[in-house]
């Protein structure tokens, strides 16, 4: 009889401990999502500030390191010569909902030993033959273009190892630098206008704005806080209020 009387008390303690742990974990996850949202809002503000800066000649800047984040998203102008034989077509990239390629070509900077990978634009894929490359005219002389400094192209999941042909899923700058045989900057340049002194290439350049997904984090935070409130409400009702109502009735 004594054990039967102690069992309900033991279960109540277990329920209390589990509820406290669950509320603490979900509330902590909610606060973490709010922190992530604040970080990305700060990143968005930094991107907007950078985009308002005047364009600077890229060939006059020192070669950045991987941690020179203050250069990202800044408008720049470039002068140099296309290394068109090393053009790469990144597959499975979309623009306006259509599948196609991002066309990347290294540009040997004028008066410098280094080159920078230029994300030149988007070209549609041939629906009949996905291995057929789009025609992208590229001049042999010195060209001048406008763009903004950006991280290397985002990587997509790929089942096979990184390829070495003109059509690739992703681009690894370290191995690509060995292919090109020229030191490459650890960043890329997103081309934003047609090239002066180059033939019309027919590429689209409606680049999407850098996504920071702030609303996603607010949504996750709401879900975690809602779950925390739900556990608290269920505990109060089933462990505190309902037993009292039963005793009073």
Are 81 and 184 in the same domain? yes
Are 238 and 146 in the same domain? no
What is residue 30's predicted lDDT score, i.e. its pLDDT? 96
* Domain contains 15: yes
Are 79 and 177 in the same domain? yes
CB 103 within 8 A of CB 136: yes
* Domain contains 25: yes
Are 98 and 187 in the same domain? yes
Into how many domains does the chain fold? 2
Are 185 and 82 in the same domain? yes
**Residue span of the structural domain in which 26 resides:** 2-47+213-248
Are 102 and 167 in the same domain? yes
Average pLDDT, whole number, for the chain? 86
- Highest mean pLDDT, choosing among 130-139, 183-192, 237-246: 183-192
* Domain contains 207: no
pLDDT in tens, 56-76: 888 888 877 654 667 888 899
What is residue 1's predicted lDDT score, i.e. its pLDDT? 43
Are 125 and 181 in the same domain? yes
How distant, in Å, are the alpha carbons of 70, 74, 80, 177, 206 from that of 151? 12, 11, 20, 16, 17
Are 185 and 228 in the same domain? no
* Domain contains 160: yes
Beta strands in 110-246 (DSSP E): 115-124, 142-150, 167-168, 184-191
* Domain contains 105: yes
CB 147 within 8 A of CB 118: yes
Are 81 and 135 in the same domain? yes
* Domain contains 127: yes
| Predicted TM-score (pTM) of this structure | 0.73
* Domain contains 184: yes
What is residue 66's predicted lDDT score, i.e. its pLDDT? 53
pLDDT in tens, 150-181: 988 888 876 555 567 899 999 999 999 999 99
């Amino acid at each position: 009889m004594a054990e039967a009387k102690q069992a309900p008390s033991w279960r109540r303690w277990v329920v209390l401990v589990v509820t406290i742990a669950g509320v603490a974990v979900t509330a902590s996850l909610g606060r973490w999502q709010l922190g992530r949202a604040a970080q990305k809002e700060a990143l968005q503000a930094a991107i907007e500030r950078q985009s308002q800066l005047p364009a600077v000649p890229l060939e006059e800047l020192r070669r950045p390191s991987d941690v020179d984040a203050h250069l990202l998203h800044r408008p720049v102008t470039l002068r140099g010569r296309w290394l068109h034989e090393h053009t790469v077509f990144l597959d499975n990239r979309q623009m306006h909902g259509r599948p196609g390629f991002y066309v990347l070509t290294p540009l040997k900077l004028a008066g410098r030993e280094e080159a920078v990978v230029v994300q030149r634009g988007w070209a549609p894929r041939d629906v009949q033959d996905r291995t057929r490359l789009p025609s992208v005219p590229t001049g042999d002389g010195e060209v001048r273009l406008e763009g903004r400094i950006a991280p290397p192209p985002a990587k997509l999941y790929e089942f096979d190892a990184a390829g070495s042909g003109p059509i690739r899923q992703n681009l690894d700058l370290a191995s690509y630098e060995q292919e090109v045989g020229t030191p490459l900057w650890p960043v890329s340049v997103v081309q934003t206008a047609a090239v002066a002194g180059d033939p019309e290439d027919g590429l689209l350049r409606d680049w999407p704005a850098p996504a920071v997904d702030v609303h996603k984090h607010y949504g996750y935070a709401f879900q975690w806080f809602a779950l925390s409130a739900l556990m608290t409400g269920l505990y109060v009702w089933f462990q505190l209020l309902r037993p009292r109502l039963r005793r009073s009735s």
